[in-house]
Amino acid sequence: MTVSELKRTPLHACHREAGARLVEFAGWEMPVQYAGVIEEHRAVRRAAGLFDVSHMGEIAVRGAGAEALLQRLTPNDVAKLAPGRAHYSGLLTERGTYLDDVLIYRLGSDEFLVVVNASNAAKDLDWMLANAGGAEAEVVDTSDRYALLALQGPRALEILAPLATPDVAPLRYYGFARGEVAGRPALVSRTGYTGEDGFELYLAPEDAPAVWQRLLETGRDKGLVPAGLGARDTLRLEAGMALYGHEIDDTTTPFEAGLDWVVKLDKGEFLGRAALAAQRREGMRRKLVGFEIEGRGIARQGHAVLDGSGPAGSVTSGTWSPTFEKALGMAYVPVGLAAPGSRLAIDVRGRALPATVVDLPFYRSPR
């Protein structure tokens, strides 16, 4: 795909003006960094960072049968969502494996917004439509109606509050409200993908540049910086959060990925339930774990985890952690190697790096 064929978010000009390094990501031209991944990562941990995540997809599901449809398509319990609340869930195959992981917002009694990954947006829409037969619900791609900003970090509330109405301080985690930010209509949710407190702002595309600039101006003396996809990835890895195409895909189940809490087997039938119930009864053969490298070297996605007889698992994500100043990552390993303290060896270009299994997440916010 050539640069001219890539999609651009409404903030593309803002990124160029800020000197961002732009790269291809899921068919979009996106900022991977501005001042540098390490600097942006540490700014989010210590103060705040502002991310453009407008490449994400948004699918509206509405009508009298909207709740029933989403109950059938996803493993979490949509019926327990009150208006003004969101939850994390997934779109699963009949095998109980991931088509995608999603956020579901309940906008009203019969209206939901499903936020999907950019790389899967078209596939997810087609899959939802194919499985909506007979439902009294409309499934519509509304991605073009939204730009999405993520304001993340311990000073995020302090930066956003003077610009937002109504007051966003009372919002609970995974709560949201409609209002205004910098005088522009917005849906403000208290969610995020960094392990820090923070907010995601759903805006009309034409309003996004003004809100972006106003937030950066307001937050500059509080340490706010623009942050790119590079820091977003290292932050989510430290927080032990799954990334589609790495920790989860159409070969992995929520149980294997340590996401048991999104699966409500007792809520009734849903796609993948039978396979997940069988895995719950029979047990798993592999499990996602966190690990720390001992000594020098960084394990990356695809590197083999070794036992005495050869490859026994594989790395899903790995990086050098700016917070802990050491190499760490996540990997699928046999359940016999999954206990914290278990010793691993990881094949990095023919060199067996020693590693130790540790609890996930690596990082927890002190808030």
pLDDT the model gives residue 249? 98
Quote the CA–CA distance of 325 and 292 in Å, as a whole number. 11
Please state, in angstroms and rounded to a whole number, the distance separating the CA atoms of residues 118 and 244. Answer: 10
> Cis peptide leading into 166, omega within 30 of 0?
yes
24-29 contact pairs (CB < 8 A, 24+): 25/55, 25/118, 25/229, 26/55, 26/117, 26/118, 26/119, 27/1, 27/118, 27/119, 28/55, 28/118, 29/3
0.85 exceeded by the pTM? Answer: yes
Q: How far is CA 190 from CA 165, 239, 294, in A?
A: 14, 16, 36
- What is the residue-level pLDDT of the chain in tens, covering all 367 positions? 677 799 999 999 999 999 999 999 999 999 999 999 999 999 999 999 999 999 999 999 999 999 999 999 999 999 999 999 999 999 999 999 999 999 999 999 999 999 999 999 999 999 999 999 889 999 999 999 999 999 999 999 999 999 999 999 999 999 999 999 999 999 999 999 999 999 999 999 999 999 999 999 999 999 999 999 999 999 999 999 999 999 999 999 999 999 999 999 999 999 999 999 999 999 999 999 999 999 899 999 999 999 878 899 999 999 999 999 999 999 999 999 999 999 999 999 999 999 999 999 999 998 7
* Residue bearing tokens 């993340």: 152
Write down all domains in the chain, each with its CATH number in brackets.
3-53+146-238 (3.30.1360.120), 57-142 (3.30.70.1400), 285-358 (2.40.30.110)
d(Cα 86, Cα 112) in Å, to the nearest integer?
Answer: 9
Give the Cβ contact number of residue 300 at 10 Å. Answer: 15
Q: How far apart are CA 144 and CA 205, in angstroms?
A: 8
d(C-alpha 299, C-alpha 312), whole Å: 15
What pLDDT, on a 0 to 100 scale, did the predictor assign at position 1? 64
The structure tokens 């000009």 sit at 13
Residue position matching structure tokens 């600039």: 213
> Tell me, what's the pLDDT at 95?
98
Tokens of 163: 């610009």
Radius of gyration of the chain (CA): 21
